[in-house]
Amino acid sequence: MADRTHAGQVATARRALRITVRGVVQGVGFRPFVYRIARENQIAGWVRNTSWGVEMAAEGEAAALDAFVHALRHEIPPLARIDALTIDEATPDGLREFEILHSEAQTGAYQPVSPDTATCADCLHELLDPADRRYRYPFINCTNCGPRFTIIEDVPYDRPLTTMRAFDMCPTCRHEYDDPLDRRFHAQPNACPVCGPHVTLMDADGRVLAERDDALRRVAALLREGAIVAVKGLGGYQLACDATDAAAVIRLRQRKRRPHKPYAVMVTDLEEVRRHAEIDEVEAALLGGPAAPIVLLPWWSGSSIVREVAPHMDTIGLMLPYTPLHHILLRDTARPLVMTSGNLSEEPIARDNDEALRRLKDIADYYLVHNRDIHSRYDDSVWFVAAGEAQPVRRARGYAPDPIGLPFEARPILAVGGELKNAFCLTRDRYAFVSQHIGDMENLETLEHFGETLALYRRLFRVEPAIVAHDMHPDYATTRYALEQPGEHVAVQHHHAHLAACLTDAGMPDEPAIGVIMDGTGYGLDGHIRGSEFLLGDARGYRRAAHLAYLPLPGGDAATRRPNRIALAYMQTLAAGDDLPPTLRGVSAAEVETVRTMIARGLNTPFTSSAGRLFDAVSALLGVCGDASYEAQAAIELEEVAQKDARSGDTALYEWETAPAGEAEGGGITA
């Protein structure tokens, strides 16, 4: 910078830099961006992809180089993310041009892979422009949007290693793909109606009814008539129906065998969201952002979306269209559409065309399929905003496999995750690659999904785990899987894992902390079911300082489907006398007696300190939910009631006691 005082000299002095960038920098328009800012600043040199990131040589006048580096740091494309940038002085070579060079592959090297991203504003504009060659083309995309993770089989991210290899680009698409100044330069899924994938409409028996735009227009008409349509989306099939048609929604519930669990609804744009729900700026940014998740929102009573979509709820999960296919469907039907995972309860989302026809046979009336294969199953992500902060409930589409940065260098570890709402994690260097939501590990399909996804992550990020971490619970499918893997095995207490994850997420794994864990089920060392803990410790170890009192759970885990029974058990244990509160008087005398006998004799009645079961009992005692058809229903509906009270100014006080324990239980993972 001192050189600048001699302006005359600087004007002629040429400098050269070698720059390396790590992060999400491939498949996101990074090289064309570098090319453009190089030309804008009269910088000569080159840029190329490597197996670990992007490398470039830049040569020019000092002030121009400063401007170039400033742009490199501050003007990156929307999907790119720089994790590390190194700049070294080099000797000028007298270069005059700036070029994009071919990729340099290195074995063992890896880099983050971009998640799939919602249709960008430029593509949406073209999609809706009758003069554009991609008008109403349901697979329009560019370097700033479209499928990524769901179509990638291996790295480097190049078309032959994606499911797009089946389609040869037409000359016009090829020209866009080869032009560094085009928005579709090296957009691997680039396609058009001439050369790319297309949609087909089939009936329940797999007979073709219509293709291409004709199929889209007929689907819209069918949806408006109340049909249930299986739609092949980004990461799997979704089941769609008119969210303003109670009969259609009820039919979907019956066929999916899901009587109460809320469905998500897709609406055309933010303006329409405001007609159904209350949203603030944070929620609007989430809904309209590149990940475009489902966001849980306060539901207007005047909304045209029927209550059958989310029975007993004042909250609704809304999302915006995130693929061109969804944009067309929503505009053509001009109705809010239920968009729920294409599966039976608890199974993973259906992915392949044959699989959808087989597994969704008794659910869907019609199938809107297409011929671009999905490599990875990818559910919709679910978020909510509390106290102005966005919180994930389910992290999948739009987020995974983007890694979480670690505050330390990690050995290669595989953490296999728990039994319900499973996700696994692989670590390497300073990255934690947390998988997308896998699901409940209680059926064969989910186990296969787990195995396939884990194999993909290991391949993409080149991780050979030296340590395999698993839950202490001996009967979890993931525990059995972990014990069959080579490497050092580490059993982690469920709630210590929660504490360690929170501390690491906050960047302070070694700081002493009080961890308050309010959970449903975690395997403990004393044979009881643990669910609420006050732990003192850090990521390395902990002491259990307090927990909720242990109470009997007649029937064990099966009782979670019957909150009334939990309430009975808690009443019988905690309250004197045989009087039942009015809300439990509907329970049969036989069941009351059964529960009494089970507790008295200790028959199939483990003890639990679960916060989830406490919520179940309170929910049943207040007459909110005595029978549950999906996991956590009683707690979710109790929360609805509590929030309504909070909004109306009523407050309720629930008293509970802690039973100090204080035994030290030592550590989990030693890093």
Q: Which two tokens stand for residue 70?
A: 């400033």
Q: If binding is defined by CB under 5 A, does position 192 make contact with Zn ion?
A: yes
120 binds Zn ion (CB under 5 A): yes
Q: Are 470 and 490 in contact (CB under 8 A)?
A: yes
| CB nearer Zn ion, residue 194 or residue 652 | 194
Cβ closer to Zn ion: 144 or 435? 144
Which of 117, 144, 560, 572 contacts Zn ion by CB under 5 A? 144
Taking the least distance from each CB to Zn ion, the nearer of 144 and 479 is 144
Rg value, the chain, Cα: 28
The residue (of 195 and 390) whose beta carbon lies closer to Zn ion is: 195
Q: 64 vs 118, which CB is nearer to Zn ion?
A: 118
Contact range with Zn ion by CB under 5 A, out of 64-72, 140-148, 414-422, 663-671? 140-148
Which of 166, 194, 652, 664 contacts Zn ion by CB under 5 A?
A: 194
Which string of DSSP letters, residue by residue, matches 387-412?
TTEEEEEE--TTTTTSPEEEEEEEP-
Please tell me the total number of residues recorded for the chain in this structure.
Answer: 671
Least Å from the CB of residue 160 to Zn ion:
17
């869907």: which residue's tokens? 364
Find the part of the chain contacting Zn ion (CB under 5 A) among 85-93, 173-181, 321-329, 404-412.
173-181
Phi, psi (degrees; rounded to nearest 5) at 626: -100, -15
Among 16, 123, 503, 617, binds Zn ion (CB under 5 A): 123
195 near Zn ion (CB under 5 A): yes
Out of 19, 72, 145, 295, point to the residue binding Zn ion (CB under 5 A): 145
**Residue 440 and residue 531: Cα distance in Å, rounded?**
18
Q: Which stretch binds Zn ion (CB under 5 A): 74-82, 156-164, 194-202, 383-391?
A: 194-202
Please name the helix (run of DSSP H) or strand (run of DSSP E) that holds residue 568, with its range, or none. Answer: helix 563-574
From 14-22, 167-175, 432-440, 470-478, give the range in contact with Zn ion by CB under 5 A: 167-175
Residues 116/372, Cβ–Cβ less than 8 Å: no
Backbone angles phi, psi at 503, to 5 degrees: -65, -45
Count CA atoms within 13 Å of residue 133 on its CB side. Answer: 11
173 contacts Zn ion (rule: CB under 5 A): yes
Among the listed ranges 119-127, 333-341, 362-370, 409-417, the one in contact with Zn ion (CB under 5 A) is 119-127
Q: Is 517 helix (H, G, I), strand (E, B) or coil?
A: strand
Q: Which amino acid is at 380?
A: D
Q: How far is the CB of 173 from Zn ion (least distance, A)?
A: 3
Residues 236-295 that bind Zn ion (CB under 5 A): none
* Residue number, 142 or 416, with CB nearest to Zn ion: 142
Candidate residues 170, 502, 536, 641; the one interacting with Zn ion per rule CB under 5 A? 170
Beta carbon of residue 119, minimum distance to Zn ion (angstroms, whole number): 6
**Nearest distance, CB of residue 145 and Zn ion, angstroms:** 3
CA dihedral 603, 609, 612, 616 (to 10 degrees): 50
From residue 549, alpha-carbon distances to 30, 331, 599 in Å are 56, 54, 16
- Residues touching Zn ion, count (CB under 5 A): 10
C-beta neighbour count of 508 within 10 angstroms: 14
* Token pair belonging to 17: 């830099």
> Least distance (Å) from Zn ion to the CB of residue 236?
22
**3-state secondary structure string across 414-470:** EECCCCCCECCEEEEEEEEEECCCCECCCCHHHHHHHHHHHHHHHHHHCCCCCEEEE
The binding site for Zn ion (CB under 5 A) comprises 120, 123, 142, 144-145, 170, 173, 192, 194-195
